[in-house]
Amino acid sequence: MIAFDIDGARLLGAAATVASYAALCLAVLSKERRKAAAQAARGQAPTAGVDAKPLLIVHASQTGAAEQLAWQTARALRGPALPPRVAALGTLAPGDLATASRVLFIASTCGEGDAPDAALPFVRRMMDAASAQPLSGLRYGLLALGDREFANFCAFGRRLDGWLRRQGARPLFERIEVDAMARSSLARWTRELGRLSGAGDALAGSEPACETWRLARRTHVNPGSLGAPVFHLELEPPAGATPDWEPGDLLEIQPPHASAAPRPYSIASIPADGRVHLLVRQERRGDGELGLASGWLTAGASTGGEVAVKLRPHRNFRLGDNAWRPLILVGNGTGIAGLRAHLRARASRAGAGAGAGPAARPRHWLVFGERQAAHDFHYRDDIEAWQADGTLARLDLAFSRDQAPRRYVQDCLRAQPALLRQWLDDGAALYVCGSLRGMAAGVEEVLVAIVGDERVQALKAEGRYRRDVY
């Protein structure tokens, strides 16, 4: 599955520009420190924004790209005197911005204009509040990540910018909007920071190198399907390498095309498998041509050949504090990939502690949907084995083309309101992986209908409702 939300699709392709931006941030900070030292030597008080407060770098991310940009910036800015602080927007306390002097925001928009799930606590606590602390002492820069394929381009970044201004914060420069990680927009961000530092565009960084892995296996898993071809891929790291990742993480693939941006895919395996497993649907553009990334992976790349990759943490879809909770796993199509990794990890952990007995195992309820059971029951052997050994306490399937009217995963949940409420009352976490339009929106609509919007938002704030949607 392409984990394609609007803050992640072209991250690696823009890495060189982002590295330049981070270097320029360092120049800004260094200049401020020199100015503060000179003022101190003359017995003057530091000017606003040049004090002992660390630079705050805030990210609002759905699939991890904005967060990765924030941490890359922090590493470039790290110094012994004034290390920067990185924070997720949703974790900020009411006083954090009021006491800050300078903040860099990197904010994604999710879907059709929404805030990223992890940012919702801040939105409700601060931006939607009837009153909030004034921010007249704050200077900020804002990079808004979006995708013009969606109607409300950069809507959350624009909303955040407007809120900051209404609270009295002053922009260091006008908001920078980025369409699908376009290099030109990131270059403008770099130039603005260069103007502030006086460094111009002289500073440049180098793009982090991808790792070269081997495409060890490729299997067409849905011949005869009404849908597009789907392939199970296995990629093998170099000999002697021991890459590590967590269930929920992504693998970014760099196709060997000069114009192709990297594509992130949900990982369907665990490190103990020794390989990264992917489930990739072969996409075609409007003109009938194969997609650059999916087409190359499923038809162009040679089995045994080299593939440029990079592991990317996706903390919003990791288990985290939900490691021992019951899990409700909902997905459609190639979205089963991210859910399979969680189930493989939990089954492996249960096997390692088999002496504790079935009662000690966390429960799992899987809801999976596709077109036709005869052709599109991806990872069927795994799922049926988990049913047999008790890893899956419940399995609901929705193959939309096998009956009339069509049935989807949200219909499975709608048919079990009491059971859904009971699992949530028992502390279950809900993980949704697959298409944003239709499936993910339908699942949320059903959740709100069954447990109410207030509880749905509380589940998000607690980290018990997580989505990897595209």
* pLDDT tens-digit readout, 36-57: 444 434 333 344 344 457 789 9
* pLDDT tens-digit readout, 126-172: 998 877 788 999 999 999 988 887 789 999 999 999 999 999 999 99
d(CA 400, CA 353): 38
Task: Kindly report the backbone phi and psi dihedral angles of residue 65, in degrees, each rounded to the nearest multiple of 5, phi listed first.
Answer: -70, -45
Provide, rounded to the nearest whole percent, the portion of the chain with pLDDT above 90: 56
d(CA 374, CA 292): 29
Question: Looking at 39-53, 344-358, 373-387, 393-407, which range is the least confident one?
Answer: 39-53
pLDDT at 84: 79
* pLDDT tens-digit readout, 269-296: 999 999 999 999 999 988 989 988 999 9
d(CA 147, CA 11): 13
How far are the Cα atoms of 31, 294, 397, 399, 409 from residue 107, in angstroms, in the given order? 26, 27, 36, 36, 30
Report the 3 state secondary structure along the chain.
CECCCCCCCCCHHHHHHHHHHHHHHHHHHHHHHHHHHHHHHCCCCCCCCCCCCCCEEEEECCCCHHHHHHHHHHHHHCCCCCCCEEEEHHHCCHHHHHCCCEEEEEEECECCCECCHHHHHHHHHHHCCCCCCCCCCCEEEEEEEECCCCCCCCHHHHHHHHHHHHCCCEECCCCEEEECCCHHHHHHHHHHHHHHHCCCCCCCCCCCCCEEEEEEEEEECCCCCCCCCEEEEEEECCCCCCCCCCCCCEEEEECCCCCCCCEEEECCCCHHHCCEEEEEECCECCCCCECHHHHHHHHHCCCCCEEEEEEECCHHHCCHHHCCCCEEEEEEHHHHHHHHHHHHHHHHHHHHCHHHCHHHCCCEEEEEEECCHHHHCCCHHHHHHHHHHCCCCEEEEEEHHHCCCCCCHHHHHHCCHHHHHHHHHCCCEEEEEECHHHHHHHHHHHHHHHHCHHHHHHHHHCCCEEEEEC
Q: What is the mean pLDDT of residues 316-336?
A: 95
What length does the chain have? 470
Return the CATH architecture of domain 211-313. Answer: Beta Barrel (2.40)
Task: Kindly report the backbone phi and psi dihedral angles of residue 395, in degrees, each rounded to the nearest multiple of 5, phi listed first.
Answer: -135, 125
> Where along the chain do its domains lie?
12-197, 211-313, 316-469
Only one residue has tokens 């630079």, namely 55
Query: Shortest CA distance to 253 belongs to which of 6, 7, 9, 5?
Result: 9
Whether the per-residue pLDDT at 90 is higher than 60: the answer is: yes
Query: Shortest CA distance to 470 belongs to which of 280, 243, 309, 296?
Result: 280
* CATH code for the structural domain at 12-197: 3.40.50.360
Q: Right CATH number for 316-469 from 3.40.50.1950, 3.30.420.40, 3.40.50.80, 3.40.47.10?
A: 3.40.50.80
User: Cβ distance 262 to 253 under 8 Å?
Assistant: yes
pLDDT at 27: 52
d(CA 453, CA 461): 12
Whether the per-residue pLDDT at 78 is higher than 90: the answer is: no
Q: What is the mean pLDDT of residues 16-44?
A: 47
Whether the per-residue pLDDT at 206 is higher than 50: the answer is: no
Output the CA angle 444-446-452, nearest 5 degrees.
Answer: 85
b/e sequence 229-240, b meaning 16+ C-beta within 10 Å: bbbbbbbbbeee
Query: Shortest CA distance to 177 belongs to which of 108, 261, 86, 74?
Result: 108
d(CA 318, CA 463): 10
pLDDT at 68: 80
Cis peptide before 405 (omega within 30 of 0): yes
136, two tokens: 């007249």
Query: In this structure, which long-range contacts are made by residues 196-202, counting pairs with CB atoms below 8 Å and at least 24 apart in sequence?
Result: 196/28, 196/172, 197/24, 197/27, 197/28, 197/30, 197/31, 198/27, 198/31, 199/24, 199/27, 201/20
How far are the Cα atoms of 4, 7, 92, 283, 417 from residue 69, in angstroms, in the given order? 17, 10, 18, 28, 40
283, two tokens: 């996409």
pLDDT at 80: 56
Q: Do domains 12-197 and 316-469 have the same CATH topology?
A: yes
Whether the per-residue pLDDT at 202 is higher than 70: the answer is: no
Q: What torsion, rounded to 10 degrees, do the Cα atoms 121, 122, 123, 128 define?
A: 100
Q: What is the mean pLDDT of residues 311-338?
A: 95
Whether the per-residue pLDDT at 87 is higher than 70: the answer is: yes
Total-model pTM:
0.79
d(CA 287, CA 242): 41
d(CA 153, CA 175): 13
